[in-house]
Structure 1
Amino acid sequence: MDAANLPDCWKAKTDPSAMDPNTAFPLEGRDILNIPQAELISAAETAPTLHDLQNNRVSRITRDLVIKSHSYTLPSEANAMKLVAEKTSIRIPKVHRSFFVSQTHGLYKSRGYIVMDYIDGLSLDKCWEILPQSIRDDIIEQVADMIAQLQSLQLPTPGPLGGGPSQGNWFTPYGAGPFTGPLDLENFFNQRLEMAKSFSRVSKSIPPFDLANSKFALTHLDIAPRNLVLDSGGKVWLIDWANSGAYPPMLEIATLVVERERCKDFYEPLLQRVTRDQDAVEQFMSGQTVQEIPAFDHITRIETWATTRSLSPPNNTD
């Protein structure tokens, strides 16, 4: 499904011993709250890996815990997960610890860490094809409910929770922001829209964005079979909150539309069960056509944030 046609260098690697509960995991039996950061960092680098893709690692440090680490594992990811755990019934890994090791030479040499529960199950990209239709239907209902709950969580300030650069396919390969408010985010999307029009990638009739009075909801922005884990009881867990933040609700739906071709029999029924403003979705998708083009002023912003945190606006919920 998701990774079938990717070259090997773009496919995540897994150490088979990470899936074996009989493996001697390095921090088994330890009090995770009192382990020094340096020891956690070492375990992140040496423990059996559940996921290893271009320096983005999820390592299993005990039978029940994993540690995620990457330069783009930012504090906002743990913030979003904690908010979801507090305000919704969405099943996600519990966050036990998180920290960010910042370097003076910017984000790309910094690294974030999140210690969270290990979810025992199969990601949907590994089992969807063999599931009976009744179980597929139940999964779709569970995921649609997740989206509805997320969209009920409204926040006043756009961007990742607690500040920082925005990540994912709606921005650039390097991210974008931090955004200082709705008008700053609106300006970014309008710049991308105008660029898409100038390259004749979209219709010139698409109207500009107007986010001055927009509502911002908590969005995951990577709801995909690879990030949905089915446990032995038939319950679905949503993992990998790296791209999450407060954005216009239709940005979440546009993400599903963009991914639809990867697995139509997952996305099509899901899209039928969510609220969709087609005009807003198409408006967001127009800017995605130039996603591969860097926004160099935002690279500077990101580096400034990583070294000084001077562009981190507060982001609170009711």
Structure 2
Amino acid sequence: MARRITKDDLAAATRAGPFCAVHFLADGKTIAKTGQNTRLAEANTMRFIRENTKIPIPEVYDAYTDDETGRVCIIMEKVEGQTLNEAWPGYNDADKETVIQQLREYFNELRSLKSSIISCTDGSPCDDQYFDDNIGGYGPYSTEEDFNQGLINAWTKGREDDALIRFLCRALRHNMQGHEFVMTHNDFAPRNILVRGSRIVAILDWELSGYFPEYWEFAKAIWRPDWDSSWMKDDLVERLKGWWSFNLGTGACAFQACYSFMYNKIIFRHHHGLNHAAERAAHIISLSSKESKSLPRKATVRAALKRSEADRNFQVMTSACTRTRRRTGAWTRCVKM
């Protein structure tokens, strides 16, 4: 059913947060999402997912561009429930496994939707935190090479002299190739999952979703989580097998883990969580090393890592990887030199 809201409706609504575009309307049954970065593509994606999968998503009642403000407004159903990050600590093992199984089914279904281009479901440009400097200016991309170049353009803008970023760009060019483009939520986090008991009743926040390379969901799921949360301590993301156990190859799998490190450095420019990200990267590397048949000499890898010697946090990753090698007796080839 079509529905428009007024200034009075928004004034009477409760905002989810000071910088959040979500408003809970006074009727207690409806949400209005409107803000500077709200796009019609999000509403189009939600409708598409509801029509083509069994994934529980709030119903979109209307989506339009307000004539007065020029901003997009999405009117949708309010689903009652508890966020998974609130519910997870109180679950027993059986509850956790029930939730994991549901998530595995939903995201396998989501990933079964594929495209020949990297874009939103309506063919509009990609949206991602990396692309915030020029929303709508990245993509759509017809090849993974073009997408990689878009990432490189975003990463290096204003950071041309950063040795770590240049190193990661080389790794991106050499390793991330030949992937399918699958439907991706792109903000998989417990705060975006609503449950009642151990039943998932809604998956929220589809503003960044679209068709991305098949590794992207996992890479983004570990980009900046609360590493001390019970969610991460239970290795839930890694237990959702199928996201990262597909045939990427050792280098690609290890490189996924580095995205967590990159996001902290490039976007947030702070040290919180970097040590955890480095340890997680080492953990993923140790898992993928079991499949590696061609391992570079340690000296070769260290020579590349030394290019970023000025960044003390990158040395944390180097140290963590070194400890992994000592434990496993193998050094995984993360990048092609």
Do both proteins adopt the same fold according to a TM-score greater than 0.5, normalized to the shorter chain? yes
State the SS of the aligned residue for 1:79.
helix
Name structure 1 gaps, 5 residues minimum: 1-31, 104-108, 294-318
Fraction of identical pairs, as percent:
19
C-alpha distance in 1, partners of 2:85/2:198?
A: 18
1:251 to 2:216 alignment: yes
Q: How does 1:174-185 map to 2 (within 5 A)?
A: 175=135, 177-183=137-143, 184-185=146-147
Q: Distance between the aligned counterparts of 1:253 and 1:230, measured in 2?
A: 22
Query: Do the aligned residues in 2 keep the contact of 1:170 with 1:287 (CA within 8 Å)?
Result: no
The residue number in structure 2 matching 1:239 is: 204
Does 1:47 find its partner at 2:22? Answer: no
Superposition deviation, residue 215 in structure 1:
2.2
Residues of 1 paired with 2:138 and 2:88: CA distance? 37
Change in Cα spacing, 1:112 to 1:266, as seen in structure 2 (3 Å) is same
Q: How many residues align?
A: 253
Residue 75 of structure 1: aligned partner: 40
Match of residue 230, structure 1, among 191, 195, 215: 195
Larger radius of gyration: 2
Whole-Å separation in 2 of the counterparts to 1:139 and 1:255: 20
Using a 3 Å threshold, how does the CA distance of structure 1 residues 55 and 135 change in structure 2: closer, same or farther?
closer
Once the two structures are superposed, what CA deviation does each residue of 1:144-193 show, in whole Å capped at 9, x if it has no partner? Answer: 22221111110222122224453333434554624142344232123356
Code of the aligned partner of 1:290: I
Counterpart of 1:97 in 2: which secondary structure?
strand
Aligned counterparts of 1:44 and 1:214: Cα–Cα separation in 2: 45
From 243, 262, 266, give the equivalent of 1:290: 266
Specify every segment of 5 or more residues in structure 2 that has no aligned partner in the other structure, as ranges.
Answer: 270-337
| Deviations 1:99-121, CA, capped at 9 Å, x for gaps | 12378xxxxx6311111111111
Task: Return the alpha-carbon distance in structure 2 between the equivalents of residues 50 and 125 of structure 1.
Answer: 20
- What is the alpha-carbon distance in structure 2 between the residues aligned to residue 272 and residue 235 of structure 1? 17
- The 3 A distance-change label for structure 1 pair 232 and 156 is same
1:15: which partner in 2? Answer: none
Contact 1:101 1:112 survives alignment (8 Å): yes
Q: Is the 1:124–1:229 Cα contact (8 Å) retained in structure 2?
A: yes
Give secondary structure in 2 for the equivalent of 1:255. helix
On the 8 A contact 2:195/2:202 being kept in 1, the answer is yes
Which of structures 1 and 2 has the larger relative contact order (alpha carbons within 8 angstroms, sep 6+)?
1
* Cross-structure match for 1:161: 121
Cα offset for 1:264?
5.0
Go from structure 1 to structure 2 and tell me whether the alpha carbon gap of 1:264 and 1:145 turns closer, same or farther (over 3 Å shift).
farther
Q: Which residue of structure 2 aligns with residue 201 of structure 1?
A: 164
Task: Give the partner amino acid of 1:54.
Answer: F
Structure 2 residue identity aligned to 1:216: F
Shift in Å, 1:224: 0.8
The farther-off stretch of 118-127 and 61-70 is: 61-70
How many Å apart are 1:255 and its aligned residue?
0.9
* Contact 2:95–2:198 under 8 Å retained in 1: no
The structure where helix makes up a greater share of residues is: 2
Partner of 1:215: 180
Do the aligned residues in 2 keep the contact of 1:189 with 1:287 (CA within 8 Å)? no
Q: Distance in 2 between matches of 1:209 and 1:42?
A: 51
Question: What is the CA distance between 1:194 and its match in structure 2?
Answer: 6.3
- Letter of the 1:46 partner, please give it: A
Change in Cα spacing, 1:235 to 1:178, as seen in structure 2 (3 Å) is same
Verify: 1:272 aligned to 2:271, yes or no: no
2:124 & 2:35 partners in 1: Cα distance?
A: 15
Q: Does 1:127 align with 2:103?
A: no
Distance 1:263 1:230, change over 3 A: farther
Cα distance change of structure 1 residues 165 and 43 upon mapping to structure 2, 3 Å threshold: farther
Specify whether residues 176 and 213 from structure 1 end up closer, same or farther in structure 2 by C-alpha distance, changes over 3 A only: farther
* Compared CA separation, residues 72 and 63, structure 1 to 2 (3 A): same
Distance in 2 separating the partners of 1:141 and 1:252: 17
- 1:191 aligned partner: 153
Tell me which residue corresponds to 1:142.
102
Cα deviation digits, residues 110-148 of structure 1 (max 9, x gap): 311111111111112223222333212221222222221
2-structure distance, mates of 1:292, 1:110 = 29
Q: After the TM superposition, which of the residue ranges 216-225 and 123-132 deviates more from structure 2?
A: 123-132
Q: 1:280 to 1:130 in 2, by over 3 A?
A: same
Letter in 1 for 2:164: R
Which of 65, 69, 79 in structure 1 is aligned with 2:30?
65
Partner residue of 1:315? none
TM-score (structure 1 length as normaliser): 0.68
Secondary structure of residue in 2 paired with 1:171 = helix
| Alpha-carbon distance between aligned partners in 2 of 1:43 and 1:213, rounded to the nearest angstrom | 51
Q: For the aligned residues, what is the CA RMSD? A: 3.2
